[in-house]
């Protein structure tokens, strides 16, 4: 079994020409006694993105076995649905006699709620 071990007070890996790739057939683990910072260039440039490409993304660790895994929400979609709900509620308050005509709108919003949760990102 080939193994490379580097132990030093400071390790710096740099490439001024191309990518730095780290690959493993199993796991890649990163540990720090302090914090970990991932930084890209200009935040206004979409090319400088921090991308996580995975079948499942889990944020956090299950510290308490009574806490269940929850889906995260897609916040832009959630805000859109909540704004639509507020608009419907405003219509009901303004025209209470017309409330029976918005049942279809409420049903459509109810169906949208299930699409708001992320299918890949979960959190404890």
pLDDT digits (tens, 9 = 90+) for 76-108: 999 999 999 999 888 888 887 777 778 888 888
Q: pLDDT for 26-43, tens place per residue?
A: 999 999 999 998 888 877
- Of 1, 59, 6, 8, give the one whose Cα is nearest residue 25: 1
Q: In what order do the strands lie in the sheet with 57-59?
A: 57-59, 117-123, 70-73
Predicted structure pTM score: 0.58
DSSP 85: H
Q: Three-state DSSP class for 14?
A: coil
- The rounded distance, in Å, linking the Cα atoms of 92 and 108 is 17
Stretch 15-21: mean pLDDT, rounded?
A: 90
What pLDDT was estimated at residue 27? Answer: 92
pLDDT beyond 80 at 60: yes
What pLDDT was estimated at residue 44? Answer: 79
- Of 78, 28, 18, give the one whose Cα is nearest residue 54: 28
């Amino acid at each position: 079994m080939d193994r490379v071990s580097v132990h030093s007070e400071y390790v710096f890996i740099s490439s001024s020409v191309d990518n730095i790739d780290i690959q493993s057939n199993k796991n890649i683990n990163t540990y720090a006694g302090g914090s970990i910072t991932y930084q890209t260039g200009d935040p206004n440039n979409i090319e400088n993105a921090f991308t996580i490409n995975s079948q499942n993304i889990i944020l956090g660790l299950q510290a308490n076995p009574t806490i269940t895994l929850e889906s995260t929400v897609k916040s832009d979609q959630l805000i859109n649905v909540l704004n639509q709900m507020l608009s419907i509620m405003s219509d009901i308050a303004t025209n209470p006699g017309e409330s029976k005509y918005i049942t279809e709108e409420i049903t459509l919003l109810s169906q949208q709620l299930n699409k708001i949760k992320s299918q890949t990102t979960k959190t404890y």
